């Protein structure tokens, strides 16, 4: 954690520093280091029908379309501004809450860069950037419901790529995923002064795997 974050209040200071850097005044989360890490992993691993949950600006989905082997790329987001931005990039985009509207086993690849900053409920922003950045008190407020529903929507031989920050508790996310019948492995990782970002590859666990 950087010194200025510690001086300004631990995780809350980290949140403020990141928010300042990523542009609180914008209604749509713009690509940053986490976006680049997820995009690189997705270009390598995405196949078949690919959904990016929380597509934001649509930058990751657009890159997969241009550089990857997916047969169809869909972006989804609860933010209507993000849906509009994705469509402007030529990405098929729907307004959706996580995986709710997608049929059982319909997705070969699922990508998610979730809101993961631990946020004190008394210090939330109450705007679209909060939706994009805040992961609630633990940082896992949306990660856990996503993992709850992922086994239903993911094809039997499908893969999900989930970005996990050290700020949210990497081991806690892995344990939660395994408890839901998923096999987890780290497929990419980068460290920064304020956090370590990892891409978890998640698959159905079958037999002894």
Q: Which of 35-39, 130-134, 135-139, 173-177 has the lowest mean pLDDT?
A: 130-134
- pTM beyond 0.85, yes or no: no
Q: Is a pLDDT exceeding 90 seen at residue 11?
A: no
Q: Quick one: pLDDT at residue 122? A: 59
Structure tokens at 49: 């029908």
Helix (H, G, I), strand (E, B) or coil at 130: helix
Please report which confidence band the pLDDT of residue 25 belongs to, taking 50, 70 and 90 as the band edges. low
Q: CA triplet 192, 195, 200: central angle to 5 degrees? A: 100
Please report which confidence band the pLDDT of residue 68 belongs to, taking 50, 70 and 90 as the band edges. very high
d(CA 107, CA 110): 7
* Residues 198 and 163 sit within 8 Å (Cβ to Cβ): yes
Q: Quick one: pLDDT at residue 166? A: 92
The pLDDT tens digits for 77-95 are 988 988 999 999 999 999 9
**Which CATH code for domain 3-204?**
3.40.50.150
């Amino acid at each position: 954690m950087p010194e200025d974050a510690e001086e300004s209040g631990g995780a809350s200071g980290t949140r403020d520093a990141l928010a300042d850097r990523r542009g609180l005044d914008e209604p749509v989360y713009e690509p940053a280091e986490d976006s680049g890490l997820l995009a690189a992993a997705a270009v390598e691993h995405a196949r078949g029908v690919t959904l990016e949950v929380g597509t934001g600006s649509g930058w990751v989905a657009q890159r997969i379309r241009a550089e990857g082997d997916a047969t169809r790329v869909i972006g989804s987001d609860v933010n209507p501004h993000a849906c509009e931005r994705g469509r402007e990039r030529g990405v098929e985009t729907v307004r959706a809450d996580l995986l709710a509207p997608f049929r059982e086993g319909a997705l070969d690849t699922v990508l998610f860069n979730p809101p993961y900053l631990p946020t004190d409920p008394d210090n939330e922003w109450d705007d679209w950037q909060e939706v994009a950045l805040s992961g609630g008190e633990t940082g896992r407020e949306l990660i856990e419901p996503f993992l709850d529903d992922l086994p239903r929507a993911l094809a039997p031989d499908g893969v999900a790529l989930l970005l996990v920050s050290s700020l949210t508790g990497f081991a806690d996310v892995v344990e939660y995923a395994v408890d839901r019948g998923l096999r987890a492995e780290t497929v990419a990782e980068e460290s920064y002064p304020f956090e370590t970002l990892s891409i978890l590859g998640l698959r159905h666990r079958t037999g002894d795997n």
